[in-house]
Amino acid sequence: MSNVPSAVAGAPTSGPPPGKGPDAGYAPATGQAARAGAGLGILVGYDGSAASERALNWAVRQARARKTALTVCQAWGPGFPVLPDDEAVLEFARRSGERVIADGLRLARSLMGPGDVRPMLARGPAAAVLCEHSREAVMVVTGARGRGGMPGLLLGSVSEHVAAHARGPVVVVRGHWRPAAGLGRGTVVVGADGSPGCRPAVDFAFEQAELWDVPLVAMCALADAPGSLGGARVCQEDFELTIALAQENHQQVAVRRSVVPGGARGALLTASRDAQMLVVGSRGRGGITGMTLGAVSQAVLHHAPCPVAVVHGR
């Protein structure tokens, strides 16, 4: 038997609890000791794929920078329907999961050094497991796609589901993420329209910029403002107020505001070419009621050249 401890999860629900939602606000992971989502530290999904190794590498550096724990999660299951009493199939799947998470732990500990690295071996669909435990984590980190992704797929189903339904920040590691030749130190780019739903994303973007000691580029696209009379003016005013309020708590962060007349998708993708991270909310002003992930968030998750953080309220 393996010495890897496990946390067995079933098929959890991932929606917000009563009274919570996109407008509930993001609880920053630094500062006050009593904060939401500190139990698991950085929660990273790992399945042994190259994309999950890149995500683990990114998550290790984030955990070290934040001085918090790193939890490596491997969700196991047979991958096809089985009878509850088919113990041989379930045992084989569990042992396969143990081997995968053991590899992930070795990699994480080799990179983390003396930091706190914890295993989570959970039975159930990976997306459901990560969403269920997102409330206990500072953030959830995934690769852009896992082992089961189709060739050429830009974003896997697990990453897309977690980005849409988890609580707090979800970082999908894609493209470049470390300072490379010609990229300098890289900025943090945040898309904001001044709506209540964008405030958790703005707070998180300021936090990341302060953590990495890099400038923040805050972008507002007026083409996505409501079509009512004066909608663009109201959008810009709300954007300026949102940035100003967040900056009060992060006065050392250099901010460049950019208000563009066009759409958000193209502007954010262009601005993120030299960025370390692109941060967006789950949906903006124009989103359909009940939609968990807006069109702009979906577009940048599929096409951004750097890691993307989608930030939900707790």
> Domain boundaries in the chain?
34-173, 187-311
Residue 314, SS3? coil
187-311 belongs to CATH 1.10.10.10: no
Q: Which has more pLDDT, 218 or 4?
A: 218
> What DSSP element (H or E) covers 129?
helix 126-133
Give 145's pLDDT tier (boundaries 50, 70, 90).
confident
What is the β-pairing status of strands 308-311 and 169-173? antiparallel
**pTM for the predicted model, two decimal places:** 0.82
- pLDDT score, position 152: 54
Q: What is the DSSP string of 271-312?
A: HGGGEEEEEEES--TTPPTT-SS-HHHHHHHHH-SS-EEEE-
Asked if pLDDT for residue 25 goes beyond 70, the answer is: no
- pLDDT score, position 310: 97
Residue 40, SS3? coil
Backbone angles phi, psi at 255, to 5 degrees: -120, 130
Asked if pLDDT for residue 82 goes beyond 50, the answer is: yes
Residue in 82, 75, 99 with CA at minimum distance from that of residue 148: 75
Give 156's pLDDT tier (boundaries 50, 70, 90).
confident
- pLDDT score, position 66: 94
Q: What is the DSSP string of 77-99?
A: --SS---TT-HHHHHHHHHHHHH
> What DSSP element (H or E) covers 257?
strand 255-260
- pLDDT score, position 33: 27
DSSP 66: H
Kindly report, residue by residue over 213-249, the tens digit of the pLDDT: 999 999 999 876 665 556 788 889 999 999 999 999 9
- pLDDT score, position 196: 85
Structure tokens at 214: 């890099």
Distance of CA 17 to the CA centre of its chain: 19
> What DSSP element (H or E) covers 143?
strand 137-143
Burial class (CB in 10 A: 0-12, 13-18, 19+), 234: middle
CB 64 within 8 A of CB 112: yes
Q: Do domains 34-173 and 187-311 have the same CATH topology?
A: yes
Give 285's pLDDT tier (boundaries 50, 70, 90).
low
Backbone angles phi, psi at 217, to 5 degrees: -105, 115
Section 201-223 average pLDDT: 95
Residue in 205, 66, 45 with CA at minimum distance from that of residue 138: 66
- pLDDT score, position 191: 95
Give 275's pLDDT tier (boundaries 50, 70, 90).
very high
Section 35-50 average pLDDT: 83
> What DSSP element (H or E) covers 222?
none
Q: Which has more pLDDT, 295 or 185?
A: 295
Write down the architecture of domain 34-173 according to CATH: 3-Layer(aba) Sandwich (3.40)
DSSP 115: S
Q: Is the dihedral of CA 173, 263, 291, 196 positive or negative?
A: positive
